Amino acid sequence: GVECLMRIPPSVLKRHNKRDDAWSAFHGKVYNITHYIAFHPGGEKELLRVAGRDGTKLFTSTHAWVNADAMLEPCLVGFLVPEP
Ligand code: HEM
């Protein structure tokens, strides 16, 4: 539930930048994309470019019509917040 979600600053997001531990932020929400990587229609390599970082710009420039919010809802881990 929402009460379990974390507040995640960029320095923490950055630790999850591996193929087997990949988080990414889109529109202020942080998702664990690890299990989605293999299913991405645009390929693993492209998706891994945003592992450990805010992928909003790349995501929007490639497919603004894709509803990531709905697709990745089960993978939501928290919200991107400024560095404390
Ligand atoms: C295609 C989802 C992140 C690059 C697609 C498609 C989906 C999708 C559903 C098919 C779209 C269609 O056919 O209309 C996602 C999700 C992402 C994500 C949920 C985030 C977790 C990214 C990122 C990049 C990217 C960060 C670029 C760095 C592409 C490309 C295609 C594609 C190039 C086109 C593949 C093709 O049709 O040949 N993605 N994507 N995606 N995606 Fe992503």
Tell me what pLDDT residue 4 has. 82
Domains annotated for the chain, with CATH where assigned, are 2-80 (3.10.120.10)
Find the farthest-apart pair of alpha carbons in the chain and give their distance in angstroms, rounded.
Answer: 36
Whole-Å CA distances, 15 to 5, 11, 63, 64? 17, 7, 26, 26
Query: How far is the C-alpha of 25 from the C-alpha of 41, rounded, in Å?
Result: 19
Asked if the model's pLDDT at residue 2 lies above 90, the reply is: no
Residue 63 Cβ < 6 Å to ligand 1: yes
| Ligand 1 centroid from CA 47, angstroms | 7
Asked if the model's pLDDT at residue 1 lies above 60, the reply is: no
User: 5: which DSSP letter?
Assistant: P
Residue 23 Cβ < 6 Å to ligand 1: no
Asked if the model's pLDDT at residue 64 lies above 80, the reply is: yes
Residue 40 Cβ < 6 Å to ligand 1: yes
CB atoms within 10 A of CB 74: 9
Residue 25 Cβ < 6 Å to ligand 1: no
Tell me what pLDDT residue 37 has. 98
Which tens digits make up the pLDDT trace of 3-49?
689 999 999 999 999 999 999 999 999 999 999 999 999 999 999 99
